Amino acid sequence: MHRSRPIVVLALLVFAALHCFAAGNGMDPERLARIPLRMQEFVDQGKTAGVVTLLMRHGQPALLSATGWQDREAKVPMTAGTIFAIHSMTKPVTSVGVMILVEEGKLALIDPVERFLPEFKGQKVAVNCTPAATGPTCTYAAQQRRDGGARPHY
């Protein structure tokens, strides 16, 4: 039996979060109520087996809902406590970590990698390689910084 994997639709949540702020200090309840309905449409259309939606504002949950199935074939309903197996998240998690370090001023995006990983010292980036009888001939990118060498002081 093939188990359906639940998919969390994050892009729609971001869109919803950007568009549901009311004129006052809270969130528009009518717009918040549309989100679970839209998630149910994805389930009904077969685009996903199930969705758990959590929308936060000022550190407090503004919306928590679950719709669809943890296991479509066995009819196990999705719950707010469903645990998801998330794969291939190394690059996004690393990117977020790097951006946190940038915000804290501990790292600049223009810093050479060798500053933090000395093993990478002297690495070259090939920009053009052509085959040759004795092996490929490559042209390498200049190892100069675009800003002339200046870097922020931490």
Residue 142's pLDDT band, with cuts at 50, 70 and 90, is low
Cβ(27)–Cβ(56) under 8 Å? Answer: no
Segment 49-55 mean pLDDT:
93
What is the tens place of the pLDDT at every residue in 9-21?
A: 443 444 444 444 3
Q: Has residue 68 got a pLDDT over 80?
A: yes
Which pTM value belongs to this model? Answer: 0.46
Segment 28-56 mean pLDDT:
94
What is the tens place of the pLDDT at every residue in 83-109?
A: 988 888 899 999 999 999 999 999 998
Q: Would you tell me how many other CB atoms lie within 10 Å of the CB of residue 36?
A: 16
CA–CA gap between residue 87 and residue 72 (Å, rounded):
20
**Residue spans per domain, the chain:** 10-84, 91-140
Q: Has residue 143 got a pLDDT over 80?
A: no
CA–CA gap between residue 86 and residue 91 (Å, rounded):
13
Q: Has residue 27 got a pLDDT over 80?
A: yes
Q: What is the DSSP letter of 24?
A: S
